[in-house]
Amino acid sequence: MLKNTGLLLIVVCLLSCTDKKEVGPKMPNFVIIMADDLGYGDISSYGNPLTQTPNIDQLAKEGTRFVDFHSNGAVCSPTRAALMTGKYQQRTGIEGVVTSKNHRDVGLPLDEITLAEELKKYDYTTAIYGKWHLGYSTEFNPLEQGFDHYAGFVSGGVDYHAHIDQEGYKDWWKGKKMEDESGYTTDLITRYGVGFLKDNNPKVTHKPFFLYLAHESPHRPYQRRIDRVLREVGKPGNLFAQDSIQDIYKEMVEVMDEGIGDIMDTLKEIGAYENTVIIFLSDNGANSYGNNGVLRGFKNQVYEGGTRVPAIITYPGHIKPGTINAETVLTMDLLPTVLDFIGKKPEAHTIDGVSIKDNLINETDLQERDVFFDYGNKSAIRRGKWKMLRIKEGEDFIYDLYDLENDISESENVALEHPTLLNEMKNRLAHWDVEVRKGVQLVTH
């Protein structure tokens, strides 16, 4: 009898220990949704009165909406390099677009440690669907950069129906194999995302996941679901859209929003929504067909319209719903932030991004820092409310200084009124120029 009682106690103890393990803290899942060329004023939660984006707006209601979030680059590839590595894109050599015409044999260096590679070390299942734009050759394919699953395109943008890039090459991949399939690009990206979530339900796999949905919308060519094909194999360039580009653009954004709603619904369906960090952002500002609100400039420029972008982060039960975040945050901050959410630090020796987890959870202020932007003939340094632009004209430099707190549109140059500050920022930018490129082999410029 005593022996049986002892056995019973052992069994109870084992069951108790097992139960405690099961109810312990779970690793959160991560979903990053990146729009392409979406401007600061392109969605309704950022003040657009015409474009309806109820699902993105719902994310804003459930989490924090950033009003001073910046893409690292003013164009596609540099921002994506910063997202993947947590550092200024200049350190990776990708300072410009990886073009389908001139850069088909280069890409993000394989010795860079990507966000996907970081998370795989902690048993995450990783996937990217959509736009890669960090290398055309299979040598630089996402499957070589830490992702378990990939379907999408490697160029800057494909025909939404024919999946042909700007130079007339077919560009739709499943893993490392080019394999086209029918479908509107935005819908295909959503469909793959939904399928991945259903196939990788943590309640079934007992593994967390990282899903990166890299949308093409609203990048050109401008096409709706019902529109004709605008590109042909072997022929560089585009045919022209027959209808108003603004109307097409609006619908492209709304279709993307519809797909984001499908992702949200699927997360809830599999019971993973409450344990998933969702990050929505854009890779740079809009071009002249889009809406950057009151901001000056467009994509390809380091004025605010080129880099200040919509961004929203949700994590139910952890991030206070409906908050507005005015901290200056860059794309490169996401890698250390994601790792901080699971109590880890980046493996790379040099990381320029900073974790904003405590700011998100506890609403603490970020430590003051200078941040930098560079593209084309313009560079910029941001220090609190101050932003200095350095514009190269021939062999000379012109310097502008703006007080963004009182002049977010960058309309009044106050450089002459603050000579000491201007000189400090000049020197700091010059030092960064050299330090960030030291020992780096240029990939694109």
Which residues pair with residue 279 across a beta bridge? 32, 313
The Cα–Cα gap between 335 and 89 comes to 13
Mean pLDDT for the stretch of residues 101-125: 96
SS3 of 388-419:
EEEEEECCEEEEEEEECCCCCCCCCCCHHHCH
Cα–Cα distance measured from residue 374 to residue 433, given in angstroms and rounded to the nearest whole number: 9
The answer to whether residue 20 scores a pLDDT higher than 60 is no
Q: Could you tell me which residues are beta bridge partners of residue 177? A: 174
Return the residue matching tokens 């410029």: 445
367 CB-near residues (< 8 Å, 6+ apart) = 354
Question: What are residue 389's DSSP bridge partners?
Answer: 380, 400
In the chain, % of residues over pLDDT 70: 94
Task: Give residue-wise pLDDT tens across range 232-255.
Answer: 999 998 777 767 999 999 999 999
Chain centroid, CA 308 distance in Å:
13
The pLDDT mean for the chain works out to 94
What the chain holds in terms of domains, given with CATH numbers, is 27-367 (3.40.720.10), 372-435 (3.30.1120.10)
51 CB-contact burial (10 Å; exposed 0-12 / middle 13-18 / buried 19+): buried
C-alpha–C-alpha distance, residues 382 and 328, integer Å: 9
Q: What is the pLDDT of residue 15?
A: 44
Predicted structure pTM score: 0.94
Q: What is the mean pLDDT of residues 54-61?
A: 98
Query: How do residues 294-307 score in pLDDT, each as one tens digit?
Result: 999 999 999 999 99
Burial of 203 (0-12, 13-18, 19+ CB in 10 A): exposed
The larger pLDDT score, comparing residue 242 to residue 428, is at 428
Peptide bond into 54 cis (omega under 30): no
pLDDT above 80 (res 267): yes
Q: Which helix (H) or strand (E) holds 431?
A: helix 419-435
Is the confidence at residue 14, as pLDDT, over 60? no
pLDDT score at 239: 75
Whole-angstrom Cα distance, residue 392 to residue 390? Answer: 7
For residue 174, how far is the Cα from the chain centroid?
21
